[in-house]
Each structure stands twice: as C-alpha cells, then as structure tokens.
Structure 1
C-alpha cells in the first residue's frame, strides 16, 4: 500500500488526510502511520490549513476547521552537511 500512496500523491500533488484514508478505505490513524514512514524518509511533507481560505481569522464558520494535507516530494529533502576545506 505504501507504493500506492506514493503513486497517488505523486499524481495528485497533495491530498487531505481524510481523502487519503477514504481512498484506501482505512482509518485516518492507520493512514497517518503509513504516511509517517514516507515522512521519515523525507518523501512526504505534512502541513495544516485552518479554514477554507487558509487563514485563522475567525470571521467565518469555516475558519475553525483544520485540515491536514500531505504532499509528495520528488526529491527527498534531507539535511546535507558539507565539510569546508581550507
């Protein structure tokens, strides 16, 4: 299923946790644990968006809703340590 998650996120760019869980017919908790494996490898990033407009101003009824999104990264972003030669 991990490869299927990779292919789906790569194709769609980003998806909410709820949409991913519904697509694969698993709980959100199960999907989070599978996505954690990709995040540890630096292949998936997670970000939260509150409200449909992306702000948390509280001026609309949707501003309190927080959605968790996951995005596939084609190039893993891991820290690179370079040694400086003098």
Structure 2
C-alpha cells in the first residue's frame, strides 16, 4: 500500500471509513491513518465522523468504522452535510 493506492481508492468511492480502507489494503488501521494524515496535510483528504455522538457517547460503535475519510475534489467541494451513519449504529 502506497499513498497513490489510497488516493485511487478514495477517488473511486468519494469517501470510506478507516476500517474499510484498512480492510481493503489488509493493513493496520493505525498505519492507514498515518498515510491519510499525509493527504490531509496536503489538503486532499478530510476526516469526518459519521455522527458526532458515534464513537464517543454511545461507546458501541467501532471508532474505525465511524472515522470517515473523503477525497476533496479540487473542482467541486463536497457538501458540509454529515455522512450517513454506519448501518449498525442505533442512534
């Protein structure tokens, strides 16, 4: 897995959870997070949470599943609306 692989994955999907990315590349979520931080610093990716409560107040959602990363299209900025909740979240 290299930075361009993550770029291509996010470009194809628009956004993905940390756990989805880590599973796709058969990698540790912390290693993926570190690579995503490089794209964030370059202004190409932004980190979002599926819901501000998930992963913090209910403590039932896997933090890697609600940690969403999205590619920022230089020509069209993604909307500021929250991404849909993971299907397993009861909130």
- TM-score, length of structure 1 as denominator length: 0.69
SS in 2 for 1:30: helix
Shift of 1:75: 1.4
* Corresponding residue number in structure 2 for 1:41: 42
SS in 1 for 2:31: helix
Q: Which runs of 4+ in 1 moved over 6 A?
A: none
Question: How large is the Cα RMSD of the aligned pairs?
Answer: 2.5
Q: Per-residue CA shift, 1:22-56, capped at 9, x if unaligned? A: 10111000000000000000000001124xxxx74
- Segments of structure 1 that go 5 or more residues without pairing to the other structure are 57-61, 78-86
- Segments of structure 2 that go 5 or more residues without pairing to the other structure are 78-91
* Corresponding residue number in structure 2 for 1:73: 72
* Corresponding residue number in structure 2 for 1:30: 31
- TM-score, length of structure 2 as denominator length: 0.66
Q: Report the number of matched residues.
A: 69
